[in-house]
Structure 1
Amino acid sequence: MPISSLAKHEDRLKRQQQAKCKSTLTSVAKSRPNVTQKAFPVAASPSTSARTPAPAVRFSNDTERLQHINSIRKAPAGAQNKRVGDLLLEVTIEFLITVVLIPF
């Protein structure tokens, strides 16, 4: 195919795709009811005196946690994936132990 016909074919495909997206968006918009107000009411914020103070975090513990997070974040992608896999395996094993070994 010559380049001009490829460009025409590409333009036609783009127009078809845009028309399909537009029709999909239109049908989604028509299926949803028109809502002028928020669907969920905003909860009144409790007064500051009614709130319980958050537990104090020791700076040294928080620093250790942040350093651990940063070391994971800066690790290569393969190491991050391995960590995720290890965590999933650990959680799965713990779940199976609780389900299989602890009767109801």
Structure 2
Amino acid sequence: MTASASHKDNTILKFADDTTVIGLISGGDETAYRREVASLVKCFKLLGVHICDDLTWTLNITQLVKKAHQRLYFLMRLRKSGMSQRTQRTSYTGRHRRAS
């Protein structure tokens, strides 16, 4: 999906939760491209990685920890309900193992 760019030499591509800015830089003048990038949010997600303008990993790590907590909570609830480890594993991975 293409979003509207503020300059004719720039293109903004969005797919799912990823955003990419493509810009034509001619004559070494990056002004329009840099202005486009600066107008975006402070952080964006590209191929599943959160990239922030300060180049820290804080947001990325926070999101990974949040996702891990959610999954661990789900497994803990399954265990407390008495489900077998095999059922827990199947619920977590979504894959069934065939009996040999």
TM-score for the superposition, normalised by structure 1: 0.32
Q: Which has the larger radius of gyration?
A: 1
**Greater helix fraction, Structure 1 or Structure 2:** 1
Greater relative contact order structure (CA < 8 Å, 6+ sep): 2
**Greater strand fraction, Structure 1 or Structure 2:** 2
